[in-house]
Copies of this chain bind each other. A is one copy, B any other.
Amino acid sequence: MTGRPTSRDVAREAGVSQSTVSLVLGGKWTGRVSPATAAGVRAAAARLGYRPNRAARNLRLGTTRTVLLMVPSLTSPFFGPVYRGAARVAARHGFGVVVYEWPDLPGPAGSPFAAPHEAIDGILASSMAVEAVGGFPGTPAVMLDSDPDGPVPSVGLGVADGMRAIIAHLAALGHTRFGHVAADVDQWTFHSRADALAAAVGAVPGGALVRAGCAIDVASAKAAAGRLLDGPHPPTALVCDDDQISAGAYKAARARGLDVPRDLSVTGFDDVLLATALEPELTTVRLPAEDLGAAGMAALLELLDGGCPAPRTLPGELIVRSSTAAPPRGTR
């Protein structure tokens, strides 16, 4: 016998029929196949090193047991953990996860159909516009870190609460003049951060807010932070939409001879690896990326099961490190 053993080979080896093999190996034989026979089948399968042919099973069942995870960028350290959490939960249910990078570019980016994995049972779309899943009409989908009021179920991240926690922390330190170094990315998560930030600053007595947008990269962030620092009303604290942006803010500060945190406080968002690689270590909001992937996958599996997953929001957590301090004297 050359090639992989089939269930027929196992049946022959065990001296039973194919259907018995299928029943036993499918785990639904209790009360229908004698324990002795079942044991024989198992032994035969083990002896032959049998593994079911996935394509055949998929064809028969009309299901692929595969979920597509769409992320805006694979380079960002945020999505590795999202994948890991999703894959872990999926594996427990016999599902696989294929990841597809959907560049969040303006305009009609390459259709997701360009992905060779058109055979998909469901979609998990992280941090992108709901339109992204529009390309798969009828395919069950769950959005991650997205507008909870959208047409598809979603698992959210407490980004608004995170922003409020940042401002509360900064206000308690004595800051009133805030600068928002904002990611110029049209995603719900960033709009949400901006809105929460503006509202929170509005609630601080004497609070003032200036804003500069940038792309999510260090150079662009440095330029944006620089514009704020050189402006007519330089802030004493720079609130950044993302840890990477904070790295740019650090650079802008140092280029102007400003010490972080003595002369300028800086905060980040996400708490990826970068946050502790920087000096000083970054005060930021930790987002539970792996839990997000896991909860999203759980919701999607529930959806595939015919259920109706309840909306969930996973809270962020303010991690105070060394990039924030009271504003310099004379600036309050």
Contact = CB atoms under 8 A, between A and B. Distances in A.
A162 to B, nearest CB: 21
A250 B81 CA distance: 26
Interface string A29-53: 0000000000000000000000101
30 contacts: A54-B117, A54-B119, A55-B55, A55-B64, A56-B59, A59-B59, A65-B116, A73-B80, A75-B80, A76-B80, A77-B77, A80-B80, A83-B101, A84-B101, A90-B116, A91-B114, A94-B116, A95-B116, A96-B98, A98-B98, A98-B99, A218-B273, A218-B276, A218-B277, A244-B273, A247-B277, A274-B277, A277-B277, A278-B278, A279-B279
Contact of A277 (B117, B244, B276): B244
Interface string A151-173: 00000000000000000000000
Interface residues of A, number: 48
Contacts of A131: none
Given A95-B116, A219-B276, A279-B279, 9 more contacts: A54-B119, A55-B64, A55-B119, A59-B59, A74-B81, A74-B83, A87-B101, A96-B115, A248-B277
Interface of A: 51, 53-56, 58-59, 64-65, 73-77, 80-81, 83-84, 87, 90-91, 94-99, 101, 114-119, 218-219, 244, 247-248, 250-251, 254, 273-274, 276-279
A279 B274 CA distance: 12
A119 B53 contact: yes
Contacts of A277: 218, 244, 247-248, 274, 277-278
The 6 closest A-B pairs by CB, nearest first: A74-B80, A55-B58, A54-B119, A247-B277, A75-B80, A96-B116
Contacts of A247: 277-278
A1 to B, nearest CB: 14
